[in-house]
Structure 1
Amino acid sequence: MAETVLSMARSMLGGAISKAASAAAEEMSLLMGVRKDIWFIKDELATMQAFLEAAEAMKEKDMLLKVWAEQVRDLSYNIEDCLGEFMVHVASQSLSRKLMKLKDRHRIAIQIRDLKSRVEEVSSRNTRYNLIKTESSRTIDQADSYMEDVRNHSASNLDEAELVGFSKPKSELIKLMDVNNTQDDLAKVICVVGMGGLGKTTLARKIYESKEDIVKRFDCCAWITVSQSFFKMDMLKDMIKQLLGGESLKKCLSELGGKALRVEDLAKFLVEELKDQRYFVVLDDLWTIDAWSWIKYIVFPSSNKKGSRIVVTTRDLGVANQITLESLIYHLEPLELVDATNLLLRKSRKTHEDMKKVENFKDILERLVKKCGHLPLALLTIGGILATRKIAEWGLVYNQLPSELETNISLQAMRRIVTLSYNHLPSHLKSCFLYLSIFPEDFEIKRSLVERWIAEEFVRAKDGMHIQDVGISYFIELINRSMIQPSKLNIEGSIKSCRVHDIMRDVMISIAKEENFVCLAGDDVTSAEDSFRHVAYQGSKCQNIGIDWSHSNGVRIPKGFSNLKVLHVLEVVDVKRTSSKAIKELGDLMRLSKLRLVTAGATQQKCKILCEAIEKLSALLSLRVEAGNWISSFGKLDWLHFVSSPPPHMKSLKLNGFLGEMPDWIGSLMHLVSIHLEASKLKGGKTMELLGTLPNLMLLGFHRYAFAGEKLVFAEGAFQNLRKLDFDRSMELKEVRFEEGTSPRIEKIQFRVCRLESGIIGVKHLPKLNEIAIGYLGEVAKLGALHGEVNAHPNHPVLLLECHWSHHDLGDVVHRSTTSVQSGGAMEGEESSLHPDFAVAGECSSSQAVAVTPEGGRSDS
């Protein structure tokens, strides 16, 4: 019996071995054939991409070519997807894994052979219809006419708020607002009307930011972007935060006693809190009277007679007429000839001297200004094109502008302007530009967008350039061409985020849809949906879609990670869950420029290995290490003392965890620009000695128990380049003192959640100081003495108090006649805003911020 069972087992095993061998042979044969086809379609893909770039200039003139180009583009998308799947399921797998997924291999092989067949059919179609033709004359649309020397120019960063020609409209609008008339004055609504591209938002922003003329006359202020589609709940939350303070929303929720939050609850709370406040609100980009009706009746208290003001920007005069009196409508007109000419010269990087030197330059310049209809957006857009052209080519640009702008300033003509700008983009920027259509209307897009471009393979590596830097140069070039608008700057003045003008976005979405590049949820797409390269879900369709990483400790990286030799950004790595070998391999990522780690729960041995890996990262520019978060208890980072030679070019350092003492190697970071410390429990002496010697340090942030001493002294000769100092939740700190000769370039100091029982001393020694902000739950003793120093300061800094003056120990120096009520500016760490996005950071007894300024001085922070 045993022999029979053994014989059957041998027979079954032999059959299994034979079957496996047969499958292996079949797999190898299949793979050999597939690999040949892979090489073929790879070569074809490269040719397709080159063809699509060349066809871009001609397809608008040849309908047959346009149709064929669309077929080639769709096929190229399919090839890219197939190649990606092949790399995952075949090329990167061991033979045993390949055998286990034989079904996948067959499917991919069939797909590849089908693609090869389609490639051959597309090629024969060109032969049948003779679609590719050589043109004798070369047009301005062809790619090689672009002057790719923009890399030699720094970004012009022409902020719309600095546009020429806005002084007169600003003064006229201020006069229309009549802010000085407050006696029994109901809220007055002023409308700014004009087509897209005229600068309505720019004008409103200049008013909103005019603290010396406008904002200081109101108890609270808010800037609300309405747009075509807005969510009532989100808008109300935003208004509460800006008008009443960041903690007011929590107060509202607590009053509900755990009940579900409703729009009506937020509206009732807002109206009640505003009834005795003089408020100033800008409603930017209002589209419909229905939107206004809802905002007016559910948000603003009708009983308020404090002289409040509401400024509305809209492109619809009919809406404006229904909102307010005709006498309170400001019609924004195109720029005057001189202003329009100056703007075009600035954006195109030319001067009046060029007009004298180059023959006929003045004539073509005047014709271009006229054809742009004196519209700021059109001038900025065309100026971005002209900046990349020789003056001799400007006539060609002029001939392609829509003639409608001379006689009919229409939205359609403006769209043609934007479309022309898109057509003139170099091919490498077109995909980057169209990709922005995945973001919602009025969305603030961070510069980390560049990393998405890299992942999508839109960014092409260049010899001698970091691929991240190439991507950033794409970002800056789109700004230079006025295709996107800068929004926020970091402490160094670099652009950190951008927005897309709504007209630009309209054109962008239209082109992206036409080219099957992006499908927005809600578009009428059925069977064609599979052919889109990207599908974006926005608005109400995706309210419940998304993943919260806020409580995540990061990911475990696998062994073999060091094979990613060109990796530049790695975040967030969970050191506890990652093996010691994989941690050691981090040191082999010689091109890594940005690294974020979570070390909570990691062993001391792993952390020592991590120190050795960090020392090898010679290209690292940004390091963030977190040993704990708001959920877990404070963790330790004292293992960082084992680092002996840190990455030499590091510019940004963020550490969250116990250090006890500042590591010695911090003092060697000669390129460090910003440092944020949290839960570090540092003492004053060594910390300030090391940090004070760093020659390029511009931003210093102490957050949540970062500093454990009672007295912080900025010594003579220290912090020579520091621009901003930020304290948050420094609970043990009692005194901050600035000695003569310290911090000569510091501009802003802000405190939140702290009690400075001995005060802030020595601000008279800070010659560049322009703002001291005492934010949420911040208390300062000897405030009278501080105000005396501010009052006598030659730079006339402003003292912003989040809480009412009576909340502090004022002494007997400050007179209430020298204080004015003003909403506090946003305290956003290292970023500053180019867009009016002000918000009160907290709530005090008066739910307002006080700007304490010298007698008769200006409050212009």
Structure 2
Amino acid sequence: MKSMQAALKDLSELPADRISHTNKIWMRDLTELCYDIEDSVDAFLVRVDSPASKPHSLIGFRRFIDKIGIIGKVNLVRKAKPKETKVPSRRYNGAMFEEASRLVGIDGPAKKLTNMLTQGDGIQKQKLMVVSIVGVGGLGKTTLANSVYKELGGQFQCQAIVPVSLKPDMKNILCTILRIISGEKCKHAGEKDPMELIQDIRHCLSDEEATTWPFVASQVRYLIVIDDVWDKESWKILNSALIDNHNGSRVIVTTRNLDVGKFCTATVHGAVYELEPLSDEDSKSFFPEDCIINKDSLVRRWVAEGLIDEKHGRKEYYELCERAEGYFVDLVNRSFIQPLDIDLEGIASSCRVHDIILDLLISLSIEENFVVRSDCVELIHPPCKIRRLSLQDNNNKEEIMPATVDVSHVRSVIAFGDAFEWMPPLSRFSVLRVLDLEGFPSKNSCPKDLRNLHHLRYLQLRGYLEEELLEEIGNLRHLEVLDLSNAYVDALPASIVNLTNLQSLLVDSDVTMPDGIGKLSLLQEMSWIQIAPNTVAELGKLAALRVLCIRGLGYNESHNKAFVQSLSNLGNLVGLFISRSGLCSLDGLSDSGLVPARLKFFRGTSSTTFHQLPRWFSKLELLSGLTITVNKFTQDDLEMLGELPSLRFLELEVSGNSTAQDRFMISNAQHHFQSLEEMKFLHYEGCSMVFAERVMPMLQKLQFFFQLWKRVGGGLDIGLENLTSLKHITVQVDFYKAKIVEVEDVEAMFKDVVRIHPNYPTLELSRVREWQMAEEGESYNSPGGASDHGSFDFPSTDGESDNDSEASEET
């Protein structure tokens, strides 16, 4: 199996034009064989694990394999393996650009990119600027770059377009650059080594009088397009050849990878331009309905289907989920999927696939026999078998899946809308691993059919579920993920505690949990759990928990204390999320040995306020993201947060008026907040922060609330200019008891602050409580404002309303 999978991986990594038709057929047959072997091994292991099985009654594994005929198939495929063929790589012709006039929707992006390249004034405009164009293949990055190149080219003495591609020959690329910028006068560039080429390129692009190169004029202003950069190492080499001659030179980089695009602009004056998929108006080549895909559900399905490689033969569920999430991020960075609902920590909770990419994926799925839609089953031909099935709702519901279709090899089923009502009986799915349905039971299945799905690893059900069905779920002994977060369920049955292989349990907070959930010793993810007397103590037994989402913590003091006691036993906890718990406390974990020291993310969301910042937070050296609302906050608390070495994202809201301080000072003592990248600070009483020199060297995004009636004489001298990495500022200006003229003056002052900032950060201004402006002649700092702060509609810290679905709160 390892040899076969390695062979498939090696071939799949080749460019499409390097794989012969014979190899494609062989890959398809080998893939089918791998599936058959996995299904056979699973069937054997289920027999071994059966309560009725006894060691002396089991046949040998080799005899079991021989019996089903797998070995013969392996030998046949091994003999049929084609010899590797040497195929010359296709040369990239840099001159073959699509005419800009034929590329739909290019006008808007071309104008934006041109503005980015020509922005600024004075010294800023004279700096070398690098702009990265990021987008999935086929969206027109190269054509866009070429269009702007032609439009602006006349303003530059030196111009070049250089292709890079997936596996670049860097010496040849450097030779190409040198030949172009030297006007083809360098005849022997190919004889030089890369370092000599880099030095010659830098000399050509310098603004000094040339001695060795008499054909190069002084004061060179250059425009270079570096097309199709795939990795950071390639850019490092190319960047070393570029020089900032302070003459307004520009470089355009095109790449499919967002991380690479950001990397290219990280050390120079520059920007990233993400090429948007075509709008609905521009992409009429398609009108499929947009589907929002929950990221966590997708990741869990990948793991349940065995699509994520096990590291060193070990199967740790949480590690597999982390690797799967890494693949998700990679798809986002390569612009294959569009991330949605991105939080302060940069984590997307869902995604969407654009029409063009969806059409490509459908085509590839059919070609590779990866997923089969119910309306495309006729396209599957022997020896291919249906492995994954997507049931699409249509008008002919009776014929959504013909009875003659063989589904005995299907390992994954997902049904959209009412399609589940017309799916084949569950009894026909003998090796099913993943089941995702809108409801149950269907027309052709009853609840008892569920107990025979012995291979089921992942079960997600939505809609109304009968009690009988819930009881049957307790028979799925190999189940790893149970997702009922969008199902109408009052209580889980007692049989749920028998799912000893369960790793992830997701329910709605109103669901009553049975006694004994502490028996689920492998559970690593649990949400959203309503705190109750029979659950709060049991949580302490779940030592494997990595992610815990709870509600209702603050409504009972004894529950608070019991939960803190349970928390001290959860040494593997990475993420803790607390929602709708009123006013509560997590004090009591003073002993560092009892602190969940591996905690990376803490979020108090949706109407959860803590009395004060828990002192044990000072022990969380791995804490990366913190979202919290506290009633009382002091300068000491701020300094404690500043000492957390890994803190990258901070969302802090102070809801009470117990502090007498007008401002908090962030000083550079002991290098506070050295890792912080994004910060959001809200204080209803008008308190603000002052930033000293050399603080928060990594901070790129800052959001805060500005309460005008507390600011006699302006009060904008808070040290924003000291945040040297700042790129984006969001300010919410409170209109309470303020005049429109005064608000406009303050907004103008913020614009002035941004204008003189060395980074030219973007500024986003918004207004709240406009209906409570002061009447003509009334002062904005008149008394009474503080007591009214709860009367206006201030946005919640997590961007959610209390009516949001629980799916959006998953980690």
Choose between structure 1 and 2: higher helix proportion: 1
Choose between structure 1 and 2: higher strand proportion: 2
The alignment's TM-score, normalised by the length of structure 1, stands at: 0.46
The alignment's TM-score, normalised by the length of structure 2, stands at: 0.49
